[in-house]
Amino acid sequence: MPKVHNLTPKQMTFVEEYCLDQNGTQAAIRAGYSAKTAQVQSSRLFSKAMVQRAIEARLDEHRVRCDVTIDKLTDELDVIRLMAMEALNPSAGVAAIMAKAKLHGLLVKKVEQRVELSVGERIAAAQKRLRLVAR
């Protein structure tokens, strides 16, 4: 890892660990932060511009060293898609198409969120709906 000034040894370890699997909580634990506070510590570390720059520099270094580009990955996924279709394996072809779309930022992960309401909040919401219907 290139020398990054103003990072503590623990922060530098976090950067290295994060670059392995891009899991902030696990990187914090492997860097020596408490498992109980790892998620909070990870968030705190990501809020620091110095840590963000160090992570980006490390990931850029890795991409250059491994000669990884979006164009090369796209070409490889196209070859895999064609092979899958020739082998009459449409599910593998769809997987390659989806990977290509994800690579290019065309897929957005949908997150479902469930909110529990108290009895009072449910009553208030029902009353509001009734007022809207009555109009």
Q: What is the pTM of this model?
A: 0.55
The per-residue pLDDT string of the chain (135 residues; one tens digit each, 9 = 90 and over) reads 445 568 999 999 999 999 988 899 999 999 999 999 999 999 999 899 999 999 999 988 888 887 878 888 888 888 998 998 899 988 888 888 888 888 777 776 666 666 676 777 777 777 777 776 666
Q: How many CB atoms lie within 10 A of CB 28?
A: 26
Q: How many CB atoms lie within 10 A of CB 49?
A: 8
Q: How many CB atoms lie within 10 A of CB 23?
A: 13
* CATH code of the domain made up of 9-66: 1.10.10.1400
Whole-angstrom CA distances from 79 to 61, 73, 105 are 27, 10, 20
Q: Which residue has the tokens 């020398």?
A: 3
First and final CA of the chain: distance in angstroms? 66
